[in-house]
Structures are given as structure tokens and as C-alpha cells.
Structure 1
Amino acid sequence: MAMPVSAARLCLCLAGRTATSLAAGPRRAVSLPARRCYISTSTGNHLQFRLDERTAHSSLDLFKKDTGVIYRMLGLDPSHLQDNPNRFRDWAVVFGDEKIGSGRHYWEVTVKKSQEFRLGVAEALMSREDCVGTNSSSWVFGYAQRKWFAMTSNKIVPVTLVGKPDRVGILLDYDAGLLGLVDVEHHTIIHTIRVQFKAPLCPAFGLWDGELLTHSGLEEPEGLK
């Protein structure tokens, strides 16, 4: 069972570190290759993606044809994983396998038995030594301590939302510089993050208990602005 996090832990994103990574010795700097490992750049309005196992932290186990992810506290022994500079070694993060360089896109996420997670987007070549939400290359909506928040560059903005829905939507308008958290029941945007995107993005997920199931290739609900 995952332990509750303190406010300080949340701000510093220490929740993403596993016991194994905290006990590890000095980290070896890894440079990402110039060649991008993602499938293709999506320009249409029906983004279809799976989770990219090559990026997944060892505590994250993909399932349902790589559309879902479950957190396992013990996880896999990192030494048994294929050495891949695209993998998150210190943070329980996984990326989607599509890059987004333009257009307006919508997907949904079903949350099961999780009290701590993050959903959003990140630059495809974001440093794997960072956690999503802690740098200027990622923008996420998170849930922890029974509260929602928006987060980028390690700055947290509370999001007013009653309860924790089982399913939420993510709306990305790359050209307009908008990332929205969507109420899928009422087809309304709960909160938006405004930013000028400058590089290809990937769907990004952080998970520290429970599981998430992604739903892509969806029509955008009518009425969203």
C-alpha cells in the first residue's frame, strides 16, 4: 500500500522515486539519442496512441495491449531491463508512443484505485532525470491528498473539483497553446493550462498506486472551447 504524501513531498515530486532509486548510488548522466524513438508525428484530430514500454519506469507494468498501466511497488529489477536511455529510471512515469506537433486532440483516462497520479503532456525529448510537472518541458494535471492540481516547472496551482471521478478527459490544442482537464460527464473544461508549445509532445503519465487505462482515437465532445 502506498504511503500518503506530505505537501513538501508533493512539491518536490519525491513521490515519483521508488525505494530502490532512493537507495541507489550517484546517477550516471545519460544523453538521449538524436534519433527520436516514437512512432510518428500526429497531425490529425483523432490521436491514437499506446503506452511506450521503452519509456516506462520499472515499477510500471503495462497491460491491455499497452493501453493501461498498473503500479507495482516492488516492480522489476532495473538491472533486468533493457538498457534504454529513453526509460525513466528514478520516476514512475511513462509516455505515449505518439508525437504531437500540431492540431487539436482529445483522449480520456480511467483511474482505478489510485490516490496519486499525473496526466498531461511532455516534450518527447524531456530529460528522463526529471518527473513530469517539475520542469518547463511538461504540463500535467495531478491528484494527491484528495486534491487536484495543475503543475509545470514545479509550480502547483490548485484545481477546484468536487470528488475524484473514475474517468477524465485531456484536451490538447497544440497550435492554440491549450491543455485542458475535461469533465467527461458534463462535457466541460474544468481547468486549462496556457502555454506556447515549441517542440513535439507526447501524452505523459505518472502513477504511484493503482492503475490507469487510456482511451485514445476519440471524437472530441461537442461544446468544448
Structure 2
Amino acid sequence: MYLVYYSVEISNLSENKQLSCFMHLQVPQTPTVIPQELNSATSTSIAVYWAVNDGDAIDCFQVYCMEELQASKDAGALVEEYRVTVKESHCILEDLEPDRCYSVWVMAVNGTGCSLPSEKAIFKTAPAIPTINAEDCTVCWDTATVRWHTSSASAESFTLEYCRQHSPEGEGLRSFAGIKRPELKVSLEPNVNYFFYLRTVNPFGTSEQSEAALISTKGTRFHLLSDTAHPALQISSKATVIHLPEKTKFTGFPSVLGELLPARGCHYWEIIVSACRSYRIGICYEAISQSSVLGLSDTSWCMRCCPTQTSSLYRFLHTGVMSDVCVTEHPARIGILLDYSGGRLLFFNAERGLVLFSIRHKFTDAAHPAFALEKAGVLTLRTGMELPEFVKHS
């Protein structure tokens, strides 16, 4: 223990009388860091509180912070020590890394000296900000399956927030909390643009809000279902490209389905077919057998491209041959409109905005977009666009 002596003049004694007295000032006792409270952190900051002895004279506190090395980091890596000086018995440590553990300890300081350091306490920051990629989401008329990515290993749940892009004043955000999986299906209004935001939650706090993702129900967006693909087909990582390599030997029918479209509203998508000369594209009901050949059953409808030496023959199939159309120009892009409300399935030369064929039928069930390659080549799926003008006027 240290002592210091001060000489003090007492002015309330007799006018010319002085008294020197000595006061003892002790070094403060060791503070006690209070364990981290739940929901007290952000992705880049932690709130730290500590207790002190009531009788201590304290000028300030020195707060130390050091990142705890993760198992994935090199054991010999240098770790930076972070120190701040504060007057109060609490502080917020900022500019930290998301989803990390930090050791924190405190020393009390007065004119005599510093206390011993407190015992170290472990604090954890909230998870990193997640990312919504609109291209990974599925949008079908009045619903959207919103999908996202997070790099946080400690994420326990997510909070999804959204609003209309041009919402009336005071409408505010709608939100879903406690989401356990990195996706959620949301009911929306048709033909409306929405902004979606996301936060990641762990026991110690919530991340900042993600950047806005624009998701529009003005167009249909879906992906290929890799688990429905014939073994001979190669599906891209983004689930938008189908490839049948040259000289591939296969049995059966090399087809793949897209995500299921609900039996309401209108759905439009396009296929880039310039890298494939022989293919089938169309729709089929959910109950169709995977071994079925597209267009030969009563639950599938398709367009089959059969190239000839001088032209392309398009055969439109449902329970067998329905109709043939011969064109001298081979379109590079085919558009398909599935119109439940109008009872139509239309095939377009999407480059020229021309109808190739129209099927009138009262479609009653949810349907999969369907694709098949009969010879080596590549089909590329394009989705998410608003209805082109030539489709609106068809």
C-alpha cells in the first residue's frame, strides 16, 4: 500500500492561524468487470461495465481489449492490444471485428498509482452483416423465397425486414424475427417492387442492417432443380445453365426441371438456345414421372426443336404430336408465357417478339418449367425480367 501526504490550509480556523494536516490517499482496489449482458453488442462494438469499491478515490480507468486467437489462426500471429482511458465505470469499445471473442480487463487510476488489473472477461461481438442476392431468390407472381448468405458461425437466427419500394409515408417496415434457416418464403402483392433487409442475431447482439435488395414481383425468377437432372447433364453453380457435353453416352431422356410455379397469375421466362440445335422446352405438372418424355404425356406440354438441312422444325407436343411449325430462321432466344388466368401457354421468338405457337388449355395444377437436350449443346435460362411489350400485347 502507498501513502502520500498533502499539506492543507484550513481557512475556517482563526484568521492568522494555519494548520497542516495529512491525508492518506490509497491506490484504488481492483475493479470487477461485469460479465457481458445479452444483446449488448453490435458487429463492431461491445459495451463493458465494471464495479469498484465505494471508498476508492479514482481519477480514471484504463480499459484493455485483446482479440482471442481463433483456432483457424496461426498460433504465432501477432495480436494487437487496444486501450482506452475513460472517466466513467463503463465504456463502449468500437472498431472491432464481427463475430470475434475479446479479452477485456480494467485498471483504476488515481494520483497515487494504478490498481492491479481486473480478471479478464470474455466479450463477443455480434455476427457479420449478411448479404441478400436478389438473383438467388425465387419470385413467382405473389410470393418470394428470399435467400441469403452469412459468414458468421455464431448466427442463431435472422431478422428479415421489407417494405414496398414506393411505400406511402408512415407505412414502415414489416419484419419476421427468429428465422433459423437462410431463406424464407414471403407472401407479396403482384407487380410490385420491394426492398428487403436482413440482420443476423447471436446471443450477444444483432448485426447492422444489410444493404437493400430489390426484389420485384413484376417478373418470375426461378432456378433449375439439380436433383431432377439426368446424370448426363451438367448444371451450373447458379442453376441457370444446362450442358450436355459432346460424345456423352446416356440412356433415358436427358431432362431437368425448374422450380415449381404456383397455379395462379402469369409466369414468363426465356431460354437462350443458340448453342443447342436439338432440344425440348415447356412445362409439366408436379406429378409427372421423371422417366416420362416431355410432351408425350397428358401432364406435359413442350416445344421440340428438330433442325433440318435448310430450316428448323418446331413441333409442339402434348400427348403426342400437336402441331408443326417450320421456320427458316433459327431464333437464338425462345420466350415462354404460362398464363393461368387466361388459360394459355405461348412460345415466342423473343428476339423478334413473334408468337411461334399458342396452346389454349385450362391449366389447373402448379407446374415445373421443363428442359431437355437431345443432342450435345447448352441451354441458358433467363428469368426475372418484366413482361416484354410483345408479351403484354399477345
Normalising by structure 1, we get a TM-score of: 0.71
Tell me the distance in 2 between the aligned counterparts of 1:213 and 1:40.
Answer: 17
1:107 to 2:269 alignment: yes
Tell me the distance in 1 between the aligned counterparts of 2:233 and 2:249.
Answer: 7
Tell me the distance in 1 between the aligned counterparts of 2:248 and 2:370.
Answer: 22
Measured after TM superposition, the shift of residue 100 of structure 1 is: 2.7
**CA deviation map 1:28-57 (0-9, x unaligned):** xxxxxxxxxxx9893345211111001000
Alignment partner of 1:196: what SS? coil
Measured after TM superposition, the shift of residue 158 of structure 1 is: 0.4
Could you tell me whether the CA contact under 8 Å between 1:42 and 1:102 is conserved in 2?
Answer: no
Structure 1 vs Structure 2 CA RMSD: 2.2
Counting matched residue pairs gives 175
**CA deviation map 1:63-86 (0-9, x unaligned):** 15110100135369xxxxxxxxxx
Could you tell me whether the CA contact under 8 Å between 2:315 and 2:323 is conserved in 1?
Answer: yes
1:218 to 2:381 alignment: no
The residue correspondences of 1:37-52 to structure 2 (distance < 5 A) are: 42-44=140-142, 45-52=218-225
Match of 1:163 in 2: 329
Equivalent residue letter for 2:390: G
In structure 2, list runs of 5 or more residues that go unmatched. Answer: 1-136, 143-217
Measured after TM superposition, the shift of residue 175 of structure 1 is: 2.2
The residue correspondences of 1:144-159 to structure 2 (distance < 5 A) are: 144-145=306-307, 146-159=312-325
Among 113, 120, 124, the residue aligned to 2:286: 124
Normalising by structure 2, we get a TM-score of: 0.42
Tell me the distance in 1 between the aligned counterparts of 2:362 and 2:139.
Answer: 18
Tell me the distance in 2 between the aligned counterparts of 1:196 and 1:93.
Answer: 25
Tell me the distance in 1 between the aligned counterparts of 2:315 and 2:139.
Answer: 29
Could you tell me whether the CA contact under 8 Å between 1:42 and 1:101 is conserved in 2?
Answer: no
Alignment partner of 1:223: what SS? helix
Alignment partner of 2:291: what SS? coil
Tell me the distance in 2 between the aligned counterparts of 1:176 and 1:160.
Answer: 26
Tell me the distance in 2 between the aligned counterparts of 1:137 and 1:40.
Answer: 24
**CA deviation map 1:134-170 (0-9, x unaligned):** 1011111110133111111012410243321111111
Tell me the distance in 2 between the aligned counterparts of 1:151 and 1:159.
Answer: 12
**CA deviation map 1:61-120 (0-9, x unaligned):** 0015110100135369xxxxxxxxxxxx82111000232311111111101432210111
Q: When you count helix as a share of all residues, which structure comes out higher?
A: 1
1:180 to 2:180 alignment: no
The residue correspondences of 1:42-81 to structure 2 (distance < 5 A) are: 42-44=140-142, 45-63=218-236, 65-72=238-245, 73-74=247-248
Equivalent residue letter for 1:217: G
Equivalent residue letter for 1:124: E
Could you tell me whether the CA contact under 8 Å between 1:58 and 1:75 is conserved in 2?
Answer: no
1:139 to 2:312 alignment: no
Equivalent residue letter for 2:224: L
Alignment partner of 2:272: what SS? strand
Could you tell me whether the CA contact under 8 Å between 2:260 and 2:366 is conserved in 1?
Answer: no
Task: State the identity as a percent.
Answer: 27
Higher relative contact order (CA 8 A, sep 6+): 1
Structure 2 CA distance for partners of 1:114 and 1:40, relative to 1, 3 Å = closer
Tell me the distance in 2 between the aligned counterparts of 1:216 and 1:191.
Answer: 20
1:96 to 2:263 alignment: no
